[in-house]
Amino acid sequence: MIRIALIDDHPLAINGICAWLKGTGRFEIAGTAGTLAQAAALMKKLDPPPAVVILDISLEAEDGLEFIPALKQLCAKRKAVLPGILVCSMYEDSFLIQRAMNMGARAFVPKSAESGELLTAIDALLAGDTYVNPKYKLQKQHYQALTHRENEIVSLIKQSLSAKEIAKRLKISLRTVENHLTHIYAKTNTASREELFNL
């Protein structure tokens, strides 16, 4: 049985995906978590790591994608194979998908997708491939110019957070957020939050 871990803060999503995966007769749920701390604790407990991790972009007030570097670090420390990371999110935004792939995810499936697409993505990961539906027009060159912090800020704008909310989430001042936004506008050829949102 192929072991899969689910990192998502929505119990309905976790229960639905878990039930469907078990129903295929091919997969075993290695564990679930709803926050970055729970995800880290789960992965420390799971040795060897699962074959696949299904990860949400937003975990309550946390950036789910921050789990990817933590998982890479843990696997490197153990000299273990990094699980195939499949991002499954309600946010169907090319920027967020590209950011996930840049950080180390190898597949993306929206929560609105049919279950068959989730299976296609999992099979691609198990075969060592990547999977993103071609309908998402990824433009890698735009996003690599941004720093890690700038990527975080654009991701939060894409999730409709205000500058004040971003400052609170990242534990930085509003002025710092505004300074970052100035650099982001210059690097992405945009002039407003609306243009960034539609990038």
pLDDT of 8 strictly over 80: yes
Give the pLDDT of residue 71.
Answer: 94
Closest alpha carbon to 111 in 125, 123, 96: 96
CA angle in degrees (0–180, nearest 5) for 123-48-10 = 60
Phi and psi torsions of 115, nearest 5° = -60, -30
Tell me the pLDDT of the chain averaged across its residues.
89
68-108 pLDDT, tens digit each: 999 999 999 999 999 999 999 998 888 888 889 888 999 99
**How many beta carbons lie within 10 A of that of residue 61, not counting itself?**
11
Query: CA-CA distance, 173 to 185, in Å (whole number)?
Result: 19
Provide the sign of the torsion angle of the four alpha carbons 132, 134, 140, 142, taken in this order.
Answer: negative
Average pLDDT over residues 30-59: 94
Paired tokens of 120: 């296609």
Closest alpha carbon to 57 in 19, 3, 10, 22: 10
What is the reported pTM?
0.78
Give the pLDDT of residue 61.
Answer: 77
Give the pLDDT of residue 136.
Answer: 81
Structure confidence at residue 188 as a pLDDT band (50, 70, 90): confident
What is the number of H-type helices and E-type strands within the chain?
Answer: 10, 8
In order of their start, the domains of the chain are 2-132 (3.40.50.2300), 145-197 (1.10.10.10)
Give the pLDDT of residue 2.
Answer: 96
Structure confidence at residue 143 as a pLDDT band (50, 70, 90): low
pLDDT of 148 strictly over 60: yes
- Written as one letter, the residue type at 67 is F
Query: CA-CA distance, 91 to 79, in Å (whole number)?
Result: 33
**How many beta carbons lie within 10 A of that of residue 15, not counting itself?**
13
110-140 pLDDT, tens digit each: 999 888 999 999 999 999 999 998 888 666 5
Query: CA-CA distance, 43 to 32, in Å (whole number)?
Result: 10
Contact 109, 152 (CB under 8 A): no
Give the pLDDT of residue 142.
Answer: 53
Average pLDDT over residues 134-154: 74
What DSSP letter does each residue of 83-144 carry, written as one string?
PEEEEEES---HHHHHHHHHHT--EEEETTS-HHHHHHHHHHHHTT--EE-TTS---HHHHH
Give the pLDDT of residue 47.
Answer: 87
71 three-state secondary structure: helix
